[in-house]
Copies of this chain bind each other. A is one copy, B any other.
């Protein structure tokens, strides 16, 4: 049977549609309507607009594509398959064969297929980020666009342009209703990111029905108010209009661009198009056949790729991308000769490695009874590290002076609409977008970090979870970590957040107990390139311990360690973290003076401690010693495993209270005396 599509462009677009329908129908699960609606948009972007080399899907100069409405994953899989994307590892080394095989598409949404329900980063080359939670992808895209601006400003020379790429994101009503998307859009508009283009699928349909039920914005006006260039395409099937819009985006040099594309969900399915019946459920084979008929494709062929379609893409995006990547390689070769030092930095970045000597300036802090707040120590350590990692950049959600997250060394600079070379970012009071943007920075090769008050992790858990799912080394600097916040009261005092963050699989939650533990926790976090880290830091001072008396802080690299010990088997093990560690130490000294055999264990990172060999865990916490007391100014839950059934816990059992921090501690009985008493019970 011969395809009857009038031209190869239409045939290629309809093939994306048909593959997507077939995959969803075969899985009997998924979202067919949006791939059917947006096939022309994906086609136009890859075939006509983007510098993208399917043979080198990790080439650093490529344009980025983000499918923010990740439920339309088949749109991406079908397109990556048809353009002939090659399989690589995450560093871009070819692993042989296709990134997305037709067989993977046939196993859409099955265990083991790279074609998961939503696009999962690193499952297959060409998936630039994990999307699915709405709004996340567009926030990543802002980070990617910022990364390009930063790389261009810092590495391009007058003669050699290494970085000059655009980031495109397709997004849906759902993305744009989410607060994170507005936050991210506001950042992009403020920063005048003219290398960023969002294509908004305006289809008037959501799961509950028409968007009229809950959505009646003038999106264009809203985005203009946020400093965007707003364009409209009245018909998603009008590739020429899409070409013109993208050309207008490329011509705009002072704003990000939103292209509002009117589309028909489930386009071509005669009975379901333009209804929410085409959104989140398979169409049924009968309707699939009717849709194929409407496209002029054979009705009963499944996973059919008509002759000429792959060749058409090879002639378009394939050839253009190959030329662009070859030109980039040529520039890169020249750059390595002309700028060897900068090229070495970039090579480390491309390889996901830290530069030689990155840790050479990490300070050692002298013992000091008065000590310091770990947020202050963090500021020092962060600066000492970032100074030697040129591609480490970040900022705060308007709390830099409190978070001590500013880079203050010479040349650090500010990243502003007027200066893209600076390393201090200003996210505004937009925590959720901050996390998504920082993930976008990391996905672009940078070591991104971001900062806010610990309690506001509640505002950005979605992004933190995605850092972990994507195995990105996103660093979260989280100060004001307990009732030690003091006067700001219950809303600003994290109580449950240590447990809640420790609960996120793969997120390493560090809560250092003095300045040297801060240093070693940073060392640990920086060396782990495939997991995010949360650095949880105090507002208030704590002593800097005398490490000639106590074990070295390098024990932090194992997550938990014996800080001080007794002869023989302990009568009691005291444990603590952060600003309560010294309370355990104080109690230990009193108990020792009273004749008890006491071990004190510092537990700056339970996640890493739990990954140690059982022999080390048993060495630190001998199973036979069941008299254990833990102290932490948070809830007990994450400690249950370590204190055991006979253990006691000194901590919080309710929300906090507004008052000077030391009085709040006394009010809740979190102090050395409570530890001592519990140990004696």
| Cβ 8 A contact of A644, one of B426, B455, B645 | B645
- A626 to B645, Cβ gap below 8 A? yes
- A222 to B226, Cβ gap below 8 A? yes
- B496 to A499, Cβ gap below 8 A? no
| Cβ 8 A contact of A219, one of B214, B225, B489, B500 | B225
- A217 to B186, Cβ gap below 8 A? yes
A101-142 residues with Cβ-Cβ distance < 8 A to B are 109-113, 116-118, 120, 130-134
Residues of B within 8 A of A133 (CB): 455-456, 458-459, 491-492
- B506 to A655, Cβ gap below 8 A? yes
Q: How far does the alpha carbon of A399 sit from the alpha carbon of B177 in the complex, in Å? A: 14
| Cβ 8 A contact of A402, one of B207, B456, B664 | B207
- B637 to A502, Cβ gap below 8 A? yes
| Cβ of A597 under 8 Å from chain B | no
Q: In the assembly, how many copies of this chain are there? A: 2
- B177 to A657, Cβ gap below 8 A? no
| Cβ of A47 under 8 Å from chain B | no
Q: If A217-B227, A221-B221, A489-B117 touch, does A111 touch B657 (CB 8 Å cutoff)?
A: yes
| Cβ of A312 under 8 Å from chain B | no
- CB-CB contacts of A498-516 with B at 8 A, as 1s and 0s? 0110111110000000000
Query: Which of A338-346, A462-470, A542-550 lines the interface with chain B?
Result: A462-470
Q: How far does the alpha carbon of A183 sit from the alpha carbon of B175 in the complex, in Å? A: 12
- A118 to B225, Cβ gap below 8 A? no
- CB-CB contacts of A388-409 with B at 8 A, as 1s and 0s? 0000000010111110000000
Q: Find the residue from A113, A120, A400, A458 having the highest chain B CB count within 10 A.
A: A458
For residue A356, give the distance in angstroms from its CB to the closest CB of chain B. 33
Residues of B within 8 A of A207 (CB): 398-402
Q: How far does the alpha carbon of A498 sit from the alpha carbon of B536 in the complex, in Å? A: 22
In the complex, what residue of chain B is closest to A172 when comparing beta carbons?
B429
- A505 to B667, Cβ gap below 8 A? no
For residue A454, give the distance in angstroms from its CB to the closest CB of chain B. 13
A433-492 residues with Cβ-Cβ distance < 8 A to B are 433, 455-456, 458-459, 461-462, 465-466, 468-469, 486-492
For residue A417, give the distance in angstroms from its CB to the closest CB of chain B. 8
Q: How far does the alpha carbon of A458 sit from the alpha carbon of B133 in the complex, in Å? A: 10
A187-222 residues with Cβ-Cβ distance < 8 A to B are 187, 189-190, 206-208, 213-222
- CB-CB contacts of A640-658 with B at 8 A, as 1s and 0s? 1100111000001111011
| Cβ of A238 under 8 Å from chain B | no
In the complex, what residue of chain B is closest to A500 when comparing beta carbons?
B500
Q: How far does the alpha carbon of A173 sit from the alpha carbon of B222 in the complex, in Å? A: 17
| Cβ 8 A contact of A109, one of B130, B223, B658 | B658
For residue A502, give the distance in angstroms from its CB to the closest CB of chain B. 7
Q: How far does the alpha carbon of A417 sit from the alpha carbon of B180 in the complex, in Å? A: 25
Residues of B within 8 A of A622 (CB): none
| Cβ of A182 under 8 Å from chain B | yes
- A178 to B183, Cβ gap below 8 A? yes
- A396 to B458, Cβ gap below 8 A? no
| Cβ 8 A contact of A400, one of B208, B218, B280, B657 | B208
| Cβ of A430 under 8 Å from chain B | yes
- A118 to B492, Cβ gap below 8 A? yes
In the complex, what residue of chain B is closest to A468 when comparing beta carbons?
B655
For residue A126, give the distance in angstroms from its CB to the closest CB of chain B. 17
Q: How far does the alpha carbon of A486 sit from the alpha carbon of B112 in the complex, in Å? A: 13
A489-539 residues with Cβ-Cβ distance < 8 A to B are 489-492, 495-496, 499-500, 502-506
- B429 to A173, Cβ gap below 8 A? yes
Q: How far does the alpha carbon of A30 sit from the alpha carbon of B488 in the complex, in Å? A: 8
- B641 to A637, Cβ gap below 8 A? yes
Q: How far does the alpha carbon of A665 sit from the alpha carbon of B423 in the complex, in Å? A: 45
For residue A254, give the distance in angstroms from its CB to the closest CB of chain B. 12
In the complex, what residue of chain B is closest to A417 when comparing beta carbons?
B216
- B635 to A505, Cβ gap below 8 A? yes
Residues of B within 8 A of A190 (CB): 214-217
In the complex, what residue of chain B is closest to A218 when comparing beta carbons?
B225
- A492 to B215, Cβ gap below 8 A? no
- B206 to A217, Cβ gap below 8 A? no
For residue A189, give the distance in angstroms from its CB to the closest CB of chain B. 7
Query: What are 18 A-B pairs at a CB distance below 8 A?
Result: A113-B658, A117-B489, A120-B491, A133-B456, A178-B179, A178-B459, A179-B182, A182-B182, A187-B214, A190-B214, A208-B396, A217-B226, A218-B225, A496-B504, A503-B635, A626-B645, A637-B638, A645-B646
Given A173-B429, A461-B500, 19 new contacts (CB under 8 A)? A110-B658, A111-B663, A113-B658, A120-B489, A120-B491, A131-B491, A133-B491, A190-B217, A207-B398, A208-B399, A208-B400, A208-B401, A213-B428, A214-B398, A214-B426, A495-B505, A499-B637, A503-B637, A644-B645
Binding site for B on A (CB under 8 A): 27, 29-30, 70-71, 109-113, 116-118, 120, 130-134, 173-174, 177-183, 186-187, 189-190, 206-208, 213-227, 280, 396, 398-402, 414, 416-417, 426-433, 455-456, 458-459, 461-462, 465-466, 468-469, 486-492, 495-496, 499-500, 502-506, 623, 626, 635-638, 640-641, 644-646, 652-655, 657-660, 663-664, 667
**Minimum-distance CB pairs A-B, first 9:** A179-B179, A221-B225, A222-B225, A214-B428, A132-B491, A640-B640, A111-B659, A116-B658, A496-B503
